[in-house]
A and B are shown apart, each in its own frame.
Chain A
């Protein structure tokens, strides 16, 4: 099952390595990871999305995260009401006609063309992981030159 962990940490060097180490030492791959300062510049928030092959192992990782001296709190959003978003840039090959049909699709997801050339556009969209998956499915007939995702951020309701 996919878990979204929201981890408040001291904003210091080395903390990311400590957190990442707990996953890598158990052979766990992290699906996505974002780190940024909070309203308190001495505190950063890490949002880690991980697919738990074994719930007991993840439980152990969560406890161990909490045990790290630089970790302040660990929240797992798996059973909590929350909002999650991901920011995505896609560079797509598209001529005039293609751009028109792209625009139609994007409207449904609240996306926009942020850069236009005659044969190529850059699409920006901020949406839930689910919507992004749907969007990518809708544009699968276009040629994607580059795809950049920010990784998921989430906030409890």
Chain B
């Protein structure tokens, strides 16, 4: 067995865990690791801000299904990772974040660039470690990857003091991981599955409501089989987009605050909700005491803390979405007769379609639709920022495959999309990767243009530029008498900005130029920034005002 330094052990273990790329930023206490990385097989991508590194690792994980890895120095480096770690935590994304730490003897002394990383990240990680003994390092890294990627996935932080990086020990690769206190349950309880199947067989108005758990479990095929067998409508949460093909006859699209009216009506009227890998978040349920008053609820989730948290559940099933859906498909013997239910849904679909004004103005929804038209037959990943751009990307792009939709759902992190797109492009070099952005949020991590250009990661950025922080402006318009406080943006020239970084910049101001511009961007081998100067006061509809029941939607047709 070889004697190795902590830094060598770290890199060796990352490679053995299958990590192909690290996104990060160096610093004083990381020098031993960066010296090892100089000769390593694993690729290091230097972002221009640690937040970008954390989001890139997250985007890589969402697009590939593998654990994303990011790295920072101690103190400010580590605190800059925090927003990215919290984003991954809220959306259950497996990343391993490695932060350097001052040497063990200085911890707690207010040393230069010291921060209590395990303390700061405790509530926003699935687990975290401070490694004080180099002999513990290999086991810690194995555990970190195991914990991040199993059960309900999530971020794990390893804080690594510089003296531990330099300390030497015999390297032993732990054969496996065994944690007596962490044993996720994958198989659903057979009695509960039987009970759930009975409920489904007897229902007249069933609804399958699926979330990000279906994607992390890789259960899309099983979901499709189950849905087609029962003929029940499927609605997806924001995190669940891509879990079920949007264009499928059984799909109702997304539900919730900016979901389709027909998905929301169906949810409120249903008599049986089968929730799979979703958590009844407040953006989905609307006013909680008015939510789906007549529905029995079957809730399948790998995380027992999600079940019964927000709504009362009739049949709780703790287990993996894929295995439980498989078991449910077998357990349902008699398919319910739901013709009348579909008649009602079809009526809502006719009455309340997704809608925007078709005129000669350049409207943001049209841009998203045209991106869809141009890429629907090509393998494409869509990342978004947060706000109106994100909601239009939910509504007007039709996702048909899992892991093609990357967006910060739980935390709602502006500045997520572009670095996430970079991570996705790194993981999926053959796919087209778009970042649908707003003019506000793109500026939160615009520095990553350097990362994308330097590493030849040809992400296409579509800025829906309305000169406002659009979503907040929309709320000000609707609920604060159009008093646009703090939401008006004076923007830089995005074309020149792109060019300054060595990317291609384009400005599109006319509706008729949109399809051609997108085609041109797709034909470009470089990073492209498309500045779509869109209708400034366009709103996202339908909309359930915060605190209202899910079927009390503003439709924007008036």
Contact = CB atoms under 8 A, between A and B. Distances in A.
Contacts of A21: 122-123
A119 to B, nearest CB: 43
26 contacts: A9-B181, A10-B181, A13-B130, A14-B122, A14-B130, A21-B122, A21-B123, A25-B123, A59-B308, A60-B305, A60-B309, A63-B305, A64-B305, A66-B304, A67-B303, A67-B304, A67-B305, A68-B181, A69-B126, A69-B127, A69-B181, A69-B182, A70-B181, A71-B181, A72-B180, A72-B181
Nearest to B181: A72
B122 A18 contact: yes
Given A25-B123, A59-B308, A68-B181, 7 more contacts: A14-B122, A18-B122, A63-B304, A63-B305, A64-B305, A69-B126, A69-B127
B394 interface: no
Nearest to A73: B181
A14 B122 CA distance: 9
A17 B181 contact: no
Interface residues of B, number: 17
A75 B181 CA distance: 14
B118 interface: yes
A129 B304 CA distance: 33
A148 B126 CA distance: 37
B105 interface: no
Given A10-B181, A69-B179, A72-B181, A17 B119 contact: yes
Contacts of B305: 60, 63-64, 67
Interface of B: 118-119, 122-123, 126-127, 130, 147, 179-182, 303-305, 308-309
Contacts of A63: 304-305
A72 B183 CA distance: 10
Assign chain A's interface to a size class: 10 to 19
Contacts of B127: 69
B119 to A, nearest CB: 7
Contacts of A68: 181
A72 B305 CA distance: 16
A77 to B, nearest CB: 20
Interface of A: 9-10, 13-14, 17-18, 21, 25, 59-60, 63-64, 66-72
A67 B439 CA distance: 40
Nearest to B152: A67
Contacts of B147: 69
A56 to B, nearest CB: 8
Contacts of B179: 69
A72 B181 CA distance: 4
A17 B130 CA distance: 14
Nearest to B127: A69
Contacts of B126: 69
Interface centre among B180, B305, B309 (most CB of A within 10 A): B305
A52 B180 CA distance: 29
A52 to B, nearest CB: 16
A17 B122 CA distance: 9
A37 to B, nearest CB: 16
A55 to B, nearest CB: 12
B160 to A, nearest CB: 15
Contacts of A64: 305
Contacts of B303: 67
Contacts of B119: 17
A14 B118 CA distance: 9
Nearest to B308: A59
A143 B277 CA distance: 60
A71 B179 CA distance: 10
A71 B180 CA distance: 9
Contacts of B309: 60
B12 to A, nearest CB: 24
Can you list the 10 inter-chain pairs with the closest CB atoms, starting with the nearest? A63-B305, A72-B181, A69-B127, A69-B182, A64-B305, A67-B305, A63-B304, A71-B181, A21-B122, A21-B123
A111 B370 CA distance: 82
Interface centre among B130, B180, B303 (most CB of A within 10 A): B180
Contacts of A72: 180-181
A71 B122 CA distance: 14
A145 to B, nearest CB: 35
A63 B302 CA distance: 13
A135 to B, nearest CB: 38
A69 B122 CA distance: 12
Nearest to A25: B123
Nearest to A18: B122
B323 to A, nearest CB: 20
Interface centre among B123, B181, B304 (most CB of A within 10 A): B181
A66 B305 CA distance: 9
A68 B122 CA distance: 11
A14 B147 CA distance: 17
Nearest to B128: A14
B126 to A, nearest CB: 7
Nearest to A9: B181
Nearest to A59: B308
Contacts of B182: 69
Contacts of A17: 119, 122
A83 B130 CA distance: 37
A102 B76 CA distance: 60
A108 B130 CA distance: 51
A18 to B, nearest CB: 6
B178 to A, nearest CB: 13
Contacts of A60: 305, 309
Nearest to A67: B305
B282 to A, nearest CB: 15
